[in-house]
Amino acid sequence: MSNVQEKSNEKKCGYAPVNGLKMYYEIEGSGKPLVYIAPAFGYAGVNSFPALIKNHRMITPDLQGHGRTADIVDRPISFEQHAKDIMALMKHLDIQKADFFGESFGGIVATMIAVRHPELVSRVATYGSIFSKPQDAVKQEVLATQFSVTPDAKGIQFQRENYKKVAPDPDYWPTIWSKVGQAQFTGFSREELASLKMPFFIAVGDHDFVRLEHSVETFQIIPNAELAVIPDASHFLLNADQQKVMPAIVTFFEAPTEQIPFATTKTGYHPRETR
């Protein structure tokens, strides 16, 4: 059983024995389960989503080596293992099926769960995520500098300082920085993306380092995908000004499963018949 503690604001937190980890997680709100998977070096509590927890029970895990979840020193960081850990956490919490909201790194993990185990997934929303190998999905000027960033660089000060606030061993930062950087992602195949039948929401900022063309291409492959390009927004919109995108994400998660068809030039618009 997990060691669960209830806080005064009704947020629940606990640790679950998951695949050799003592995985920290938080639960807020009530309603349909929604698993939020944070970006690299993110963890429960860095962001809050008041608009989502009104109608959802949001579960936010700290992934291996992230936040309050200690690393397993001799186990590499991988997207596949993160996906397995989250599925094990769902089983531990007796969650049969959930919506998923993945940010950047977390969107890859959410998509991997949807591809490998669609029976566990109702809907998926992503922000700033990639779906193919970085060489195809990320702007070249960003790729050119990624291997020169050191653990003490100013560019990752936000992630570093947040990590040290809650990590079991704050001095472990250089190690986890290196391990996460070594995680390999080769991308999903076209066939894997086309197999996703659940509603799927792709959001990206117009100033993100994810190529807009990549987001559009992915949107065109996934059968029930929706695409939102957020104006005047960077990769870090959910930290800086999440209200630019949250109304669309809330609408996506709360939309009926069956919707009336879009109007076309042939059908025209008719209230309650087309949209």
pLDDT of 77-97, one tens digit each?
999 999 999 999 999 999 999
Report, as an integer, the average pLDDT of 244-269.
93
Determine the pLDDT at residue 10. 81
* Residue 9: pLDDT over 90: no
Distance CA 100, CA 121 (A): 7
Query: First-to-last CA distance in the chain?
Result: 48
137-154, pLDDT tens digit by residue?
999 988 887 767 899 999
192-214, pLDDT tens digit by residue?
999 999 999 999 999 999 999 99
* Residue 133: pLDDT over 60: yes
Determine the pLDDT at residue 258. 84
* Residue 165: pLDDT over 90: yes
- Comparing CA positions, the residue from 100, 19, 102, 64 lying closest to residue 180 is 64
**Contacts of 161-164 spanning 24+ positions with Cβ under 8 A:** 162/41, 162/42, 162/43, 162/46, 163/41, 163/66, 163/67
Report the mean per-residue pLDDT for the chain.
Answer: 94
What is the value of pTM for the model shown? 0.93
Number of Cβ atoms within 10 Å of the Cβ of 3: 10
Distance CA 137, CA 193 (A): 15
Contact residues for 200 (Cβ-Cβ < 8 A; gap 6+): 114, 123, 124, 125, 126, 222, 224, 225, 226
Task: Please state the separation of Cα 148 from the chain's center in Å.
Answer: 26
Domains of the chain plus CATH, in order, are 3-254 (3.40.50.1820)
Determine the pLDDT at residue 153. 94
